[in-house]
Amino acid sequence: MNDDKDSTWLYEVLDSIGANDDYRKTIQQSGITFEIICTFGSENKKMANYGVGGKWEGTLTPGVKTDFDAISCDDNVIVIEDISKAVQNRYSLLIVRDPRTPAGYVKLQIVRGKEPGTITHLSFYDSKFKSLFKIDECKRILLTEIINEHMDNKPFMSRPKIKPAATIGNYNGININLVICYRCKHWPVDASEWLTRR
User: What are the boundaries of each domain within the chain?
Assistant: 2-75+150-185, 76-147
Could you say which of 3.30.460, 3.30.1760, 3.30.70, 3.40.50 is the CATH number of the domain covering 2-75+150-185?
A: 3.30.460
Percent of the chain clearing pLDDT 90 (strictly above) = 2
The three-class DSSP label of residue 136 is: coil
State the chain's mean pLDDT as an integer. 76
Residue 148 binned pLDDT confidence (cut-offs 50, 70, 90): low
Residue 163 binned pLDDT confidence (cut-offs 50, 70, 90): low
Residue 150 binned pLDDT confidence (cut-offs 50, 70, 90): very low
Q: Could you give the count of Cα atoms lying within 13 Å of 198 in the half-sphere of its Cβ?
A: 0
The pLDDT value recorded for residue 94 is 92
Mean pLDDT of 175-189: 81
Residue 69 binned pLDDT confidence (cut-offs 50, 70, 90): confident
Query: Which position has the higher pLDDT, 149 or 17?
Result: 17
Residue 58 binned pLDDT confidence (cut-offs 50, 70, 90): low
C-alpha 77 chain-centroid distance: 14
Please say whether the beta carbons of 156 and 147 come within 8 A: no
